[in-house]
Amino acid sequence: MIEYHSIAQLVKAAEEKGLRISDIVLEDQAVLMERPAEDLLQTMRDSLSVMRKSVETGIREGLRSAAGLSGGNGFLMNRYAAGDYPAGLPQAGSPLAGPPLAGAFCAKALTKAIAVAECNASMGKIVAAPTAGSCGILPAAILTMMEERGVTEDQAVMALFTAWALGMVIANEASIAGAEGGCQAECGSAAAMAAGALVELAGGGPSQVAEACAMAIKNQLGLVCDPVAGLVEVPCVKRNAGAVMCAIAAADMALAGIKSVIPADEVIAAMREIGEALPRSLRETAQGGLAATPTGQALKQRIFG
């Protein structure tokens, strides 16, 4: 049985059997939960379906949250990713016009990350992956691989098991809660999960999954949780976008053969220590950081009086 307390143990178990991390996790969970593997696969298919619908909801032009702090940005990013630029920028056909600076893959991933996060802010149905505040990151990575790289639904579903396993280790050894460890525990964990899933989908091995996980977390260490007016909107939506870019960068580095000098398990331990050191004002209380800025306070006053 897998105990989900160490990334290194996951890698070792997979490599000893010559399997992907997702394979050993599916096998383990079927035994642990006393359910047929096909039942667990169907549960993940259902989650993937919700992720797709969240994107569809989030790219609607008229979408707005009740507080009015978010909505519509998924539509704008989707339009931009398709080459439809806002007024004032070179239009399609202009000698200066070109694809999004980050490229088609990243632009579509950004669209999906923003869309799912705005779906959540607008009280739409999402998959907490691993939390509602970080719900756009993993779907953006998985769904963009399906759209851009021809990944099948079965492959995507299996990658979700790898992401789940990484998230379980992080939850057990550190935290996935912003109130406990800051946004590094939410968006950082989700970026690590997404990076590992991307590596597996791209054909990387278990050790490369671990390297991507480590590098994704390293680039999010110390990220505070400072939601304006205490709502999961500002800066949460845009942090989902930033975190999926971090996940893509970490996955590409791992696939290139780049390794994290600090092993994944030690990076996770460092994240826990940093989270414990963060002051209360920077752990989801909306008392510090961006929430405490003049504009942040004015928005809180406007919303709540």
pTM (whole model) above 0.75 = yes
Q: What are phi and psi of 43, to 5 degrees?
A: -60, -40
β-bridge partners, 283: 225
At 6, which amino acid appears?
Answer: S
Distance of CA 266 to the CA centre of its chain: 21
3-state secondary structure of 262: coil
Q: What is the rounded CA–CA span in Å between residue 55 and residue 61?
A: 12
At 108, which amino acid appears?
Answer: K
Torsion of CA 182, 186, 187, 193, to 10 degrees: 140
Query: Is 51 in contact with 243 (CB distance < 8 Å)?
Result: no
Q: What is the pLDDT of residue 83?
A: 85
| Residue-level pLDDT, tens digit, the chain, 305 residues | 899 999 999 999 999 999 999 999 999 999 999 999 999 999 999 999 999 999 999 999 999 999 999 999 999 999 999 988 777 666 655 666 677 889 999 999 999 999 999 999 999 999 999 999 999 999 999 999 999 999 999 999 999 999 999 999 999 999 999 999 999 999 999 999 999 999 999 999 999 999 999 999 999 999 999 999 999 999 999 999 999 999 999 999 999 999 999 999 999 999 999 999 999 999 999 999 999 999 999 999 999 98
